[in-house]
Amino acid sequence: MVYRDIQILAEDSPAGAARAAVAGGLAAHWGGRLTGLFPKTGFPPDMLTAEGMGYLPPQTFQTMIDEQAQAIDQAAAKAQAVFEAAAKVAGVAAEWAQVETQGADLIERARCADLLVMAPTARTCLGGPVLTAASIAMANGGPVLVTPETAEISAVGQRVLIAWNGSREAARALRDAGPFLARAGEIHVLTIAHGSLDEGPHDQALRRRLEPYYAKTTFSRQSGQGGADSEILRRHVKALGADLVVMGLFGHARLREWVLGGVSQDLLVAPPAALLISH
C-alpha cells in the first residue's frame, strides 16, 4: 500500500509553501501524482436574498459578481504558483483545480484521493467559510495529513508516534498509516491508561500487527492520572522528537456540526507535529 494520489489544499503563505513541499516530497517518494486544490466560494447565501441585495440595479449586481470572480482568480493564481513550484522541485506530475466549498465538490474529490494534505483550518478566499481538517476527515472516509501552521516543517514520518487505545478509530488510523510506518526510521506506540497499566488483549494484538516493523518499534504505557491526555501526548512528541502523530479522530454529529472529543480538539487547535487523522 502506498499513497499514489495525493491532494493538497493549496495556500499562498510561508506555511502553505512548506506544506506543498512536504506533499511533493511524499508524492515523489511513492511515485505518485500531486493535485492542488484551491477552495473557492461564491457570494454568501444571505447576500443573494432580497434583504441582502436591497434594491441594487442589475448592472451593479453583475459588476460585483465579476469583481468577485476576478479576485478569486487572482488569489488562485498566487496559490497555484506556490503549489507548482513545490511540484517542480519534487519532480512529480501535478494537476490543479479550483473547487467549490458550498457543495459536495471538495469532499467528493477528497474521497477519491489516497491522502489529503491541509492545514488545521483553511479559509476560502475573500472571507469565505472556514474549512476544518476535522470536518473534512469526518466526511471523506480517508486519511488526512494535517501539518502545523509553520514554515519550519521539512520532513514528516521519520519518527512516528502512534496514539493507541484499542478503539475502532485508532485501528482505522493505524491501517491508513501503513505507508508512513513502512518508511519510518522509528515508531513509538503510546497508550495512555486510565486504569491498570498491564497490557490487555488489544495491546498484544497491536504487537502482532506491528511485527513487520518490530525492530524499529517501541511500546509505552503511561497513566492518564498525570494530566490531560493531550498534554501527555504533547510531552511525548517533544521528548521523542516525533514528526508525525497517528491518531483516530473522535467525534459525533450534532446539529450538522462535528463535536470532537477532547484530545482530538486540543491537538487540532495547535498540532505539536504533523497529524495523520482518520475516522
Which pLDDT tens digit goes with each residue over 94-137? Answer: 999 999 876 688 899 999 999 999 999 987 776 666 788 988 99
CA–CA dist 45, 73 (Å, integer): 20
Q: Do domains 5-146 and 159-278 have the same CATH topology?
A: yes
Cell numbers at residue 51, please? 434583504
**pLDDT for 152:** 85
**pLDDT for 26:** 97
CATH 1.10.287.110 holds for 5-146: no
CA–CA dist 118, 122 (Å, integer): 7
Look at domain 159-278 and name its CATH class: alpha beta
Q: Report the mean per-residue pLDDT for the chain.
A: 86
pLDDT tens, position by position, 257-275: 445 557 888 899 899 999 9
**pLDDT for 154:** 78
Q: What's the pTM value of the predicted model, to 2 decimals?
A: 0.89
CA–CA dist 278, 177 (Å, integer): 9
Asked if 38 contacts 100 with a C-beta cutoff of 8 angstroms, the reply is no
Amino acid identity at 157: G
Comparing 22 with 71, the larger pLDDT belongs to 22
Structural domain spans, the chain: 5-146, 159-278
DSSP 114: S
Contacts of 227 by beta carbon, 8 Å cutoff, 6+ apart: none
Q: 1-5, 40-44, 49-53, 82-86: which has the highest mean pLDDT?
A: 82-86
Residue 59 has pLDDT above 80, yes or no: no
The pLDDT-based confidence of 200 (bands split at 50, 70, 90) is confident
**pLDDT for 258:** 46
The pLDDT-based confidence of 279 (bands split at 50, 70, 90) is confident
The pLDDT-based confidence of 54 (bands split at 50, 70, 90) is low
The pLDDT-based confidence of 256 (bands split at 50, 70, 90) is very low
Contacts of 19 by beta carbon, 8 Å cutoff, 6+ apart: 8, 11, 117, 118, 119, 147, 153
pLDDT tens, position by position, 131-182: 889 889 988 889 999 999 988 887 899 999 999 988 888 999 999 999 999 9
